[in-house]
A and B are shown apart, each in its own frame.
Chain A
Amino acid sequence: MDPFTVLTGTAAPLLRANIDTDLIIPKQFLKTLVRSGLGRNLFHEIRYDSDGRERPDFVLNQAPYRKASILLAGPNFGCGSSREHAPWALKDFGIRAILAPSFADIFFNNCFSNGLLPVTLPGEAIESLAACEGPLTIDLPAQQVRGGGQTFTFEIEAARKAVLLEGLDEIKRTEANLADITAYEARRRQEAPWLDIQKV
């Protein structure tokens, strides 16, 4: 996975609350067998009209934001379906960080599996970042967002930060615990023998 350290880029404001994963990437694009290529369908229903033409009023169809690498969003971003196609689509479009007052749980986890940084900041901070001109810088080592002469500090759990900074493979990390897992399974077979499924 690509590491995430310091990102400087254009931030697109999409401040409405409760943007769900159906809106981020609608169902018709979930039939894919791969992770790539979803960027053009990101926010499909609000980005294109029913004839497939771009809606000029949608932020990602406007000049500087076509190349946005940061998304400024409203509270409860990514609610709804667990589809990892949502972070895949964001990433494929070029978004590497999302700033919002709050995130839905599963989406939040899915970001880290894909080297995307979800930053939780108060709504006022996000609004004032949306109002400033020019690029934003997201400095993960320093846990800061800077732009338009402002600096905001954000919290991130140390383990999550390490995963992003080093681009760690989570499965490989867990494989370091294989002996623990095997021991647990042996114990569990004794304590809860009814859990073993032989055959469906």
Chain B
Amino acid sequence: MSPRTLYDKIWDEHLVTTRADGTSLLYIDRHLVHEVTSPQAFEGLREAGRPLRRPNAILSVADHNVPTIDREKGIADETCRLQVEALEANVASYGVPYLPLLDERQGIVHVVGPEQGFTLPGTTIVCGDSHTSTHGAFGALAFGIGTSEVEHVMATQTLPQRKSKNLRVRFEGALPAGLGAKDLALALIGRIGTAGGTGHVMEFTGDAVRALSMEGRMTLCNMSIEAGARSGLIAPDETTFAYLKGRPLAPKEALWDTALAHWRTLASDAQASFDTDVVLDVSALAPQVTWGTSPQWVTDVAGRVPDPDQATSAEDRQAMLRALEYMDLKPGTPIEDIALQAVFIGSCTNGRIEDLREAAAVARGRRVAAGIRALVVPGSGLVKRQAEAEGLDRIFTEAGFEWRQPGCSMCLGMNDDRLAEGVRCASTSNRNFEGRQGRGSRTHLVSPGMAAAAAVAGHFTDVRRLMGA
């Protein structure tokens, strides 16, 4: 057999059949379901009188519009509550496994899947959510789908697919101390653009990737969708296996050994060819901060807001002007001079224990600057419990951060955690689109350490200055 990429291998293993019209029917091993993109899918099944093929291949949880405060009292917002209730009714009637709102395992779907060992190497994973790419950190082919496709998977456990191209990203050199996966992701998107990965599955390689923890790898794969890629992939290794061992839904005993033997074959062959190659030297990378309304508009913390007059095309110039107007920024302003009114630490990008440790290390013994509202929202109940066991919650609250219950929260503000018009926020989430965190809100994407540093300084500052001090 000719040399294959990791993507090729997973694809081949899941090919049910190639149809006469040339499309491939791909088997889906795992399906994550949340309250926002599933009601119409369940409704579709019901209307057509179709059964759900494999309820146990689904894990469902409400995360997008759940309150992050006083949740024991129920959901005050009626539309939010109705959507969560609809999910609960649907999963009950179809026998789908569900983690209830008050269960400690509840959390953001992309944090919960890996935590439970639902996410496994070499599997195909889908969810009605673009950040499903997160699970690629385990060497799983994971991608976001629309609600009609959610229904398709519920009914048939397959999806008609077209094969994407292979793109390899090689991060060369060691990442400097104080930087993390978020900086890698943002630097990459800055380099190739938000459409740079379109039509591709992106495999991340290089020493800087191997050195990342599973949390870091998830951050990186999470943002591959922001580069337009269908999925991100990292070949599994000892770090992956150590993370998975003993997780509730991971294989046990003899099955673990059988699985492990297979997982060790999940790497791109040395001679495998990629349609596109991107190489990025990260040894001198500085912390990244976005300045515009697209993740590709990013620069070093020591940099300045760029001048649209330097744009390479009239369209780019127009787009930059619009972004700067929306962001209320002037060309040439040093990034470090940008003052903030809000800080959000959380989301499926950076709401895991390691992210909270990184932020807490900066917050420890310091105070959130006057005039800043700072929120820390753990990605799941288990992350919250772990953080509390380590005393991180006290570090945050003593510094003036609010410590919340798990959910998507201010990443998109479907619940009450929204920014008011014009408010500028340093956020560890993944999208700085217009209105993403609330109508007229201004989002700057950064790492957890950089967000905490911004919270205590009141403006952006190089987190390395606050480290080890």
Interface of A with B (CB < 8 Å)? 16-18, 20, 22-23, 26-28, 30-35, 45-46, 50, 74-76, 79-84, 87, 102, 104-106, 109-110, 113-114, 157-159, 162, 170-171, 173-175, 177-178, 180-181, 184-185, 188, 192-200
Contacts and interface: CB of A to CB of B under 8 A. Distances in A.
Interface in B64-83: 64-65, 79-80, 82-83
Interface stretch (B251-259, B339-347, B360-368, B370-378): B251-259
29 contacts: A16-B322, A32-B39, A35-B147, A45-B435, A50-B440, A74-B315, A81-B130, A82-B132, A83-B37, A84-B37, A84-B146, A87-B146, A105-B230, A106-B144, A110-B148, A113-B149, A157-B162, A159-B19, A159-B23, A171-B151, A174-B152, A174-B155, A177-B19, A184-B16, A192-B259, A194-B251, A199-B56, A200-B97, A200-B248
Interface in B405-434: 412-414, 421, 431, 433-434
Contacts of B152: 170-171, 174
A82 B146 contact: yes
Contact of B433 (A31, A80, A113, A198): A80
Nearest to A180: B17
Interface string B280-321: 000000000000001000000000000000000001001100
Interface stretch (B169-177, B180-188, B191-199, B349-357): B191-199
B27 A82 contact: no
B258 A181 contact: no
Given A35-B40, A80-B130, A113-B148, A198 B56 contact: yes
Given A109-B149, A174-B156, 7 more contacts: A17-B319, A26-B439, A30-B64, A76-B194, A106-B144, A185-B27, A199-B56
Nearest to A114: B148
A14 B83 CA distance: 32
Contacts of B262: 192
A174 B269 CA distance: 32
B435 A26 contact: yes
Contacts of A181: 16, 25, 27, 156-158
Contacts of B195: 18, 75-76, 79, 102, 104
Contacts of B149: 109-110, 113
A39 to B, nearest CB: 16
Interface string B360-404: 000000000000000000000000000000000000000000000
Please indicate which of the listed interface residues A22, A79, A110, A175 has the most CB atoms of chain B within 10 Å of its own CB: A79
B436 interface: yes
B43 A33 contact: yes
A116 to B, nearest CB: 11
Contact of B421 (A22, A30, A50, A84): A50
A104 B43 contact: no
